[in-house]
């Protein structure tokens, strides 16, 4: 729950997260049916706890924001239906929020960041570079053409025998590793633009992981070295593409408004933050990232996106659909799709 002041100040009253990691861990990833059922079982308790922590009642609300996509549609439908029910019962305006727009504004929960800014949105299902001109005004500069960075982290972690969620486990394993031992491919070097590709890296790392044998005395060090190589390779590609986007952004803005935000679950990775901080400094950009509590999916970022939309006079009807796919820059997605028609997944 968020309060947006008349001067633009943001106060987080509560942000309750009900984790499903234990339920999905035995399967090594998210199982859609289990996720949807867990949403149904926990949604009432989460809403009640959020209201209690914020010390407010339903009569104190001025609007209801709910994620309407993109994502696994079963879970999205549960949250959106709950939001619609509250809005209908209390006669409140409803805002159907794009989950990615929530990440786009997440750094504004803890810092006063003016629009416009350059955004790297990097998570388990998404990897994009966007110019954020304001709420509802995002322009895509680059996107992944296959896997997302977080997806690469998780899948490579699985080949290394690490538990779910794989990204944090791989980061921990990489501590003390020497990634220089394992050269990994660099994608799209001869291609202009700011697009990403991680499928080749994922395949190469998986083959190297399969070649590590537990009988060798150096097995554990080999795993640490490979984890460090993977982490460094992902951070390097994020930095290279971001550097290109920064050069383009600076030209288009005549060297003004040089603000850079990295958001999404992968923004919590210390190596990624360190490399991107250096990239921003080299280009003269101010660097911003959400606090760790707001990097991964959370309610506060959706509430803030909803509050900013309401302030701009934007709201939705109770017929707002749940959308498994919903690009932030729909014009770019239609004019220049990164995936062929029929391709499945959030990135499509």
Q: Per-residue confidence at 333, pLDDT binned at 50, 70, 90?
A: confident
pLDDT for residue 213 is more than 90: no
Task: Return mean pLDDT, the chain.
Answer: 93
CATH for 245: 3.30.420.40
- Are 129 and 92 part of one and the same domain? no
Q: Per-residue confidence at 125, pLDDT binned at 50, 70, 90?
A: confident
Q: Is residue 346 part of a domain?
A: no
Instruction: Pick the range with the lowest mean pLDDT from 47-61, 191-205, 332-346.
Output: 332-346
Q: How many domains does the chain have?
A: 2
Give the pairing of strands 137-143 and 127-134: antiparallel
- Predicted TM-score (pTM) of the model is 0.92
- Are 89 and 130 part of one and the same domain? no
Share of the chain above pLDDT 90, in %: 85
- Are 156 and 120 part of one and the same domain? yes
What's the DSSP call for residue 163? P
Domain range for 172 is 114-289
Q: Which of 191, 283, 177 is nearest to 233 (CA)?
A: 177
Q: Is residue 181 part of a domain?
A: yes
Output phi, psi for 12, to 5 deg. -85, 115
pLDDT at 338: 64
pLDDT tens-digit map of 217-228? 899 999 999 999
- Are 118 and 207 part of one and the same domain? yes
- Are 277 and 310 part of one and the same domain? no
Angle at 343 between CA 25 and CA 321, to 5 degrees: 75
Q: Is residue 334 part of a domain?
A: no
pLDDT tens-digit map of 264-289? 999 999 999 999 999 999 999 999 99
pLDDT for residue 341 is more than 90: no
Q: Is residue 317 part of a domain?
A: yes
Cβ 1 vs Cβ 303: under 8 Å: yes
- E strands, the chain, in order: 2-4, 10-12, 64-69, 94-98, 117-122, 127-134, 137-143, 259-263, 286-288
Q: Per-residue confidence at 318, pLDDT binned at 50, 70, 90?
A: very high
pLDDT at 342: 52
pLDDT at 100: 95
- Are 94 and 118 part of one and the same domain? no
- Are 93 and 120 part of one and the same domain? no
pLDDT for residue 348 is more than 50: no
- More confident position, 340 or 75: 75
pLDDT for residue 124 is more than 90: no
Mean pLDDT, residues 176-185: 94
Q: Is residue 333 part of a domain?
A: no
- Are 60 and 138 part of one and the same domain? no
Distance in angstroms (rounded) separating the CA atoms of residues 122 and 266 = 6
Distance in angstroms (rounded) separating the CA atoms of residues 100 and 327 = 8
- More confident position, 277 or 26: 277
Mean pLDDT, residues 47-71: 97
Indicate the residue among 289, 310, 338 that finishes a domain.
289
- Are 82 and 229 part of one and the same domain? no
Q: Is residue 344 part of a domain?
A: no
Cβ 226 vs Cβ 182: under 8 Å: yes
Q: Per-residue confidence at 339, pLDDT binned at 50, 70, 90?
A: low
- Are 50 and 24 part of one and the same domain? yes
Q: Is residue 83 part of a domain?
A: yes
Q: Is residue 118 part of a domain?
A: yes
- Are 142 and 239 part of one and the same domain? yes
pLDDT for residue 215 is more than 90: no
- Are 98 and 48 part of one and the same domain? yes
């Amino acid at each position: 729950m968020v309060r947006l002041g008349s001067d633009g100040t943001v106060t987080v009253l509560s942000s309750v997260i009900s984790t499903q990691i234990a339920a999905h861990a035995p399967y090594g990833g998210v199982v859609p049916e289990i996720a949807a059922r867990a949403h149904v079982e926990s949604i009432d308790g989460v809403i009640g706890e959020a209201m209690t922590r914020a010390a407010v009642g339903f009569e104190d609300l001025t609007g209801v924001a709910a994620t309407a996509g993109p994502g696994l549609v079963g879970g999205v439908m549960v949250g959106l239906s709950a939001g619609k029910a509250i809005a209908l019962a209390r006669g409140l305006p409803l805002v159907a929020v794009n989950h990615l727009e929530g990440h786009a504004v997440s750094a504004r929960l803890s810092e006063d960041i003016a629009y416009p800014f350059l955004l790297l949105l990097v998570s388990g299902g998404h990897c994009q570079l966007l110019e954020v001109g304001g709420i509802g005004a995002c322009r895509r500069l680059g996107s992944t053409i296959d896997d997302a960075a977080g997806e690469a982290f998780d899948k490579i972690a699985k080949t290394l025998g690490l538990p779910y969620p794989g990204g944090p486990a791989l980061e921990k394993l990489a501590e003390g590793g020497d990634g220089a031992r394992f050269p990994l491919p660099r994608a799209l070097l001869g291609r202009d633009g700011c697009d990403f590709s991680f499928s080749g890296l994922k395949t190469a790392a998986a083959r190297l992981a399969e070649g590590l044998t537990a009988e060798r005395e150096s097995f554990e060090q080999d795993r640490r070295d490979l984890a460090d190589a993977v982490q460094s390779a992902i951070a390097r590609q994020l930095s290279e593409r971001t550097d290109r986007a920064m050069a383009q952004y600076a030209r288009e803005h005549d060297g003004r408004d040089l603000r850079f935000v990295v958001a999404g679950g992968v923004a919590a990775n210390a190596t990624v933050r360190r490399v991107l901080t250096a990239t921003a400094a080299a280009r003269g950009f101010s660097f911003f990232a959400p606090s760790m509590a707001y990097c991964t999916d959370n309610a506060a970022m959706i509430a803030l996106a909803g509050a900013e939309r309401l302030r701009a006079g934007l709201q939705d009807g109770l017929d707002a659909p749940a959308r498994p796919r919903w690009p932030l820059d729909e014009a770019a997605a239609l004019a220049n799709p990164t995936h062929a028609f029929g391709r499945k997944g959030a990135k499509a």
